[in-house]
Structure 1
């Protein structure tokens, strides 16, 4: 009897869960490595005598490299497999993370952040391809939501860890330390992952049957969706709709994420450790939101946009009340509400993207969408830095910009046609 219970318990844990756990770690350290600079920024600015526009460029230059190599990185993952591309990418960016702490020149720091961005650009497409490879369609929304919790936990942990390390050792040491774990993870992926689930020694017949069933369902529909080329994908309106949604959403996301610590320090007068704590709170709340968004989206297959639209609007309203609030308590409350709704919307959005694209070109397609977000990530921190400088240190105009961007993203999402409950949103070649 005990042997049967043990056997049943072992069967519950599937290879795809282990794959997702490692993908989650990759995303976590990608966010830790890119986000610690937001906490370190006031100290870097003081150390190198930088104004807010120069600081904004330091935040934005990462996204120049990130955007430039998004699509090529996705194409490489589709051609050579997500395992090779992801392992090389994480080792690459981890090395440049550590080297950042050794630089004393502003121009050289800009170059390093750009090259760092080139490495991280390969991760999104490879990671989404990993999910599409190991997870059946019915679980991709939930898997994407779980993976996307790093969008919340990454900045939260970065805020707390960076504040503690900077307080003890200075801003340079935080970069040197953060680069080490990624190298170890990259080596693990190279030796332990398989691009084809059938080659994985621990895959069960049950798991393979679920994936095969997914392939059969795909082939039954009007035309083989697995045969869609990236060139054909570029002709599909839904790809450009999703790319534009993500562009405007990321105008807000990266503006909020990049400048929140400086807002709390300069506008609200918080100490370094208080800033680390209060900067982390909205992302901890957002962790719940992003998982919930992916889960709800799996229950609304064919109408996933209705997870995104109302929550994007609610997030914009919370941002409005945040910059209008006079007391610190209300500022913290509204920033947490804004994060909850925005991340709930994000969980629903990426579930829609992953369910819409054929597995064969998943990395290229998701990289195309994420590329637009990367362009927004370049524009938003730099533009906000300039707006703060010309307004004499006020954050009001930049908050208004973020609210408008969320509203535009919601309007574009309204134009996506649903396919009815229970039906996949996947792109139909014949349409």
Structure 2
């Protein structure tokens, strides 16, 4: 008689990851619909390219300002309360955006909206570090990060459709509603400690405890305080890498729809579809980046470096291309390589920082990306207005990717014995 193989049970950590994925999805939907609405907001409020760029950047001013405090709040009070309140906060201000008729008030609203979203990154990475064993964190982070691609893609299509039918204001009012339901679910269903979750199995708890006790060095790693972490070069290396990478990412994401409309003459609906394509390609790439990174543990940086450089090469050919077909091909290639790099990068972050202070540490890294998000859209808007073309802004994005790759070269690889013993890697010559 053949023994039947035991069925794999759905684990609590998968449910946690699914809800976190939804949180990130709506965070990106809520923040990215403005990139499609921007030409219409600019026309409605009589804004030039620089003023439009500042409107994009104000979100990142609030997002950057509250990244580290938001992460510290998650470490102190638990990710459940902080993330649920944050989602409710930004959802309310998303809907209010559609009711504003004054440019200064809209700038203020985007800033306050950013304050709410700033609490999500640290809280979500802390949840992954809490519920997932080390060997699966790269893949889990990659899956969560697919919203970096699906969010802009869905936002582009949904926003274009709603704006075409009802105008740009309605899209903001509608987008704020689902987040409130998610916030309520997290508040009542999530637990900060896996042991307190009523549906978690003994097998899953044993797996987490085994992972926690795998090495004595992991215990030492968990005892590092946030104050001590701030003294470690690895934290600032990753922060600078993310800053320069996000100069490109947010420049590309924020201005791609306007580029297709103004430079290539596409219609609103065509822009929505073509703006979505690179992110759909990136959805596959970002999961692949996290998966490959898990297979290369100890050398995760080598997922980031070559793909970051290849992304820069694709961007160069994109703005040099004369035909629309080749522009679309190269923008998809640029997205594939950049998101592959991104999946590998955040796997490195989540696996390098102590779980106890994961929210604060990852929020510090993400804070630098938020600062880049503030600088890049505004600076690109200024470049576009003064030069009359997108060429100089594309060059800026390419240079930023090269710098990010060069900084990543300075992160030393870790052997199994060195992994997590200290957070200060050897610098390579």
- The TM-score, its normalising length taken from structure 1, stands at 0.96
The count of aligned residue pairs is 425
What is the CA distance between 1:8 and its match in structure 2? 3.8
Distance in 2 (CA, whole Å) between partners of 1:222 and 1:285 is: 36
CA distance in 1, matches of 2:338, 2:362: 20
Cα offset, 1:222, TM superposition = 8.0
> How far did residue 221 of structure 1 move?
1.8
Shift of 1:115: 0.1
Equivalences for residues 283-302 of structure 1 within 5 A: 283-302=279-298
Superposed structure 1 runs of 4+ greater than 2 Å apart: 422-427
Query: What is the SS of the residue equivalent to 1:361?
Result: helix
TM-score, with structure 2 as normaliser = 0.97
Output one character per residue of 1:222-243: Cα deviation in whole Å (capped at 9) or x when no partner.
8611110000000100000000
* TM superposition shift of 1:426: 3.5
Q: For residues 264-306 of structure 1, give each alpha carbon's deviation from its aligned partner in whole angstroms, at most 9, with x where no partner exists.
A: 0000000000000000000000001000000000000000000
Q: How does 1:237-248 map to 2 (within 5 A)?
A: 237-248=233-244
- SS across alignment from 1:252: helix
Helix, strand or coil: the match of 2:231?
coil
Residue of structure 2 aligned with 1:426, choices 420, 423, 426: 420
Pair 1:425–1:246, CA change in 2 (3 A): farther
Aligned mates of 2:320, 2:249 — CA distance in 1: 19
Task: Say yes or no: does 1:340 pair with 2:336.
Answer: yes
Provide the aligned C-alpha RMSD in A.
1.6
Q: Report the alpha carbon displacement of residue 389 of structure 1 after superposing the two structures with TM.
A: 0.2
Query: Is structure 2 residue 172 aligned with structure 1 residue 175?
Result: yes
Instruction: Please say if residues 305 and 413 of structure 1, whose CA atoms lie closer than 8 Å, have aligned partners that are also in contact.
Output: yes
Residue 125 of structure 2 aligns with which residue? 128
Equivalent in 405, 413, 424 of residue 410 of structure 1: 405
Describe the SS at the equivalent of 1:270.
coil
Counterpart of 2:188? 191
CA gap of 1:221–1:427, structure 2 versus 1, over 3 A, is closer
2: CA distance between counterparts of 1:30 and 1:428?
A: 34
Alpha-carbon separation, structure 2, partners of 1:320 and 1:226: 43
Q: Matched residues in 2 for 1:380 and 1:48: separation?
A: 22
Q: Which runs of 5+ in 2 are unaligned?
A: none
Q: Distance in 2 between matches of 1:141 and 1:154?
A: 20
Tell me, in whole angstroms, the C-alpha distance in 1 between the residues paired with 2:44 and 2:53.
15
Q: For residue 85 of structure 1, what is the aligned residue in structure 2? A: 82
Q: CA deviation at 1:425?
A: 4.7
Whole-Å separation in 2 of the counterparts to 1:229 and 1:303: 25
CA gap of 1:173–1:397, structure 2 versus 1, over 3 A, is same
Please list, as runs of the form range in 1=range in 2, the aligned pairs for 1:25-104 lying within 5 A after superposition.
25-104=22-101
Q: Distance in 2 between matches of 1:147 and 1:331?
A: 28
The CA distance in 1 between the partners of 2:114 and 2:75, in whole Å, is 20
Cα 1:175–1:222, aligned 2, differ >3 Å: closer, same or farther?
closer
Q: Report the alpha carbon displacement of residue 51 of structure 1 after superposing the two structures with TM.
A: 0.1
Q: In the alignment, which residue of structure 2 is the partner of 1:257?
A: 253
